[in-house]
Structure 1
Amino acid sequence: MSFGDPNNPYGQQQGQPYGQPQGQPGYGYPQQAPQGVPPQQGYGYPQQAQPGGYPGYPGGAMEMPGGVKAARVMLWVIVAFQIIGGIFSFVGAAAVNELGEGAPTADTAAMDFGAGMLVVLGILILLLAGLGVWLAASFKNGGSTTRVCAIVYGAFIVLGGIAQLPLGIVSIAVGVLIIVFVAKSDGAAWFNRPRY
C-alpha cells in the first residue's frame, strides 16, 4: 500500500491510523498537551492534594465566604452592644436601689424587686454576649454545631428585637441577616468543609 503524496491533505499520512483525518486525534488516542502546559487530569482521575490545602479546592485552602465573614462581624457588633447593655442594666439596678432607700416601706419592696430584675437581666445579657464571643471566635474552625448555634443565636437576637420594638428593628434586621448568611449554601459548605 502506498501512502501517496505527502502534500495531499486527503491522502493517508505516514504514521497516522487509517481513516483518521490529518491533524485530528481519534477516539481512544491520547492527545499531547502543547509544550509548556502540564498534563490535565480528566474526570475520574484522582486529584493531587494542593500543598497546605484541601483536595478538590483550586488554589489550596478554602476561603471563608463573604456572607459568613459578614455574619461573624455582625456577631462581634451585637456582642459589643450586649456588653454595653449589660453594664447599663447593672448601673440601672444600682440607681433603682439607691432611689429605694429613701422611699416608704411599700415602695422599697417594689424598688428592690425592680433592681433585682435589672441585675438578672444584666446577667442574662452578659451570658448571651459570652455565647456570641464563643460563636464569633469559632467561625474559623467550627463545624456544623457552630452553624446551628449561630442560627439559634440569630433567632434569639430577633426575639430580643421584637421585645424592644420600635427600637429593636435594627436587632431584628441583624439577627435575620446572621441567620440567612449562615444558612445559605456557601455557609453550609464552609461549616461542613473537610478538616485535616
Structure 2
Amino acid sequence: MSFGEPNSPYGPPPQQPAPGYGYPQQPPQGYGGYPAAPPVQHPGMGYGYPPAGPAQMPGITRAAQIMLGVIALCHIVIAAVYGDALANWDQTMLEAGITGDAEAERYADLGKGVVVFFLSLAAVFAILGLVLLLQYAKGGNGVRVCSIVYASFAIVSGIFALGIYLLGLLIMILAILVIIFAAKRSSAEWFRRPRY
C-alpha cells in the first residue's frame, strides 16, 4: 500500500488548523460550564475585578464612631458626678442627720456602695467606649459586633442615668443610632475589608 491511497490505514493524518485560527473564540468557562463574568473597568484601576471593600470609611460608619465617642464622654461625665457624690457623701450624711443612729448608718453605707457600683460601671463603660472608638480605623468585624453589643448595654445604662442632666436620654438615643449605623451594609463592608 502506498501512502496516497484513500483506503490505507496508514494514510496521511487529517489536516487540522492550529488552535485559534479559523474557529470562533470561546469565552472562558466558569464553574459548571457557565461563562465566566467579564472583567469590569473601575475608575483609576483599569480592568480587573472589583475591590473587596471600601478604601475610605463610609460616612455612616464615621457617624457611628463619633456617636460612640459621645457616649463614652457622657459616661465620663456620669462617673465624675458619681465621684463628686462619693467625695461629699460623709458631709451630706452629716447634714441629713444620719450619723449616730446605727440602723441609719447601715443604710447610708449601703447607699454609698450603690454609688461606688454606679461610678465603677460608668468608668468601665467610658473605657470600653474609648477602646472601641480607637479600633474603628483598623479593626475587623469584631469591632462592629462589639459596638452593637456596647450600644445595647449603653441603652440600659442610659436608663439608670436619666436623672443626671438628661444625659441618660442622650445616651439612649445615641446608642440606638449606633446600633442602626453599625448594622448597615456599608459598615459591615468597611469592617470586613481586606487589610494588607
Q: TM-score, normalised by structure 2?
A: 0.67
Report the count of equivalent residues. Answer: 152
- Would the alpha carbon gap of residues 75 and 98 (structure 1) be closer, same or farther in structure 2, given more than 3 Å must change? same
SS of the residue aligned with 1:195?
Answer: coil
2:115 corresponds to:
118
Q: Deviations over 1:71-111 (max 9, x none)?
A: 11111111111111111112112222333356222221111
Bigger Rg, structure 1 or 2: 2
- Using CA pairs under 8 Å that are at least 6 residues apart, name the structure with larger relative contact order, 1 or 2: 2
SS of the residue aligned with 1:110?
Answer: helix
2:177 corresponds to:
177
Equivalent of 1:97, from 90, 93, 101? 90
SS of the residue aligned with 1:141?
Answer: coil
Equivalent of 2:145, from 139, 145, 148? 148
- Would the alpha carbon gap of residues 165 and 127 (structure 1) be closer, same or farther in structure 2, given more than 3 Å must change? closer
Contact 2:54-2:193 at 8 Å conserved across structures: no
Which amino acid counterpart does residue 173 of structure 1 have in structure 2?
Answer: I
1:109 corresponds to:
106
Which amino acid counterpart does residue 85 of structure 1 have in structure 2?
Answer: I
Contact 1:97-1:115 at 8 Å conserved across structures: no
- Would the alpha carbon gap of residues 173 and 99 (structure 1) be closer, same or farther in structure 2, given more than 3 Å must change? closer
Unaligned runs of 5+ in 1: 1-26, 29-42
Calculate the aligned-residue CA RMSD, in Å. Answer: 3.0
1:139 corresponds to:
136
CA distance in 2, matches of 1:45, 1:164: 55
Q: TM-score, normalised by structure 1?
A: 0.67
Quick check: 1:80 aligned with 2:73? yes
Q: After the TM superposition, which parts of structure 1 deviate over 6 Å for at least 4 consecutive aligned residues?
A: none
CA distance in 2, matches of 1:99, 1:164: 21
Unaligned runs of 5+ in 2: 1-23, 26-36
SS of the residue aligned with 2:194?
Answer: coil
TM-superposed deviation, 1:131: 0.5
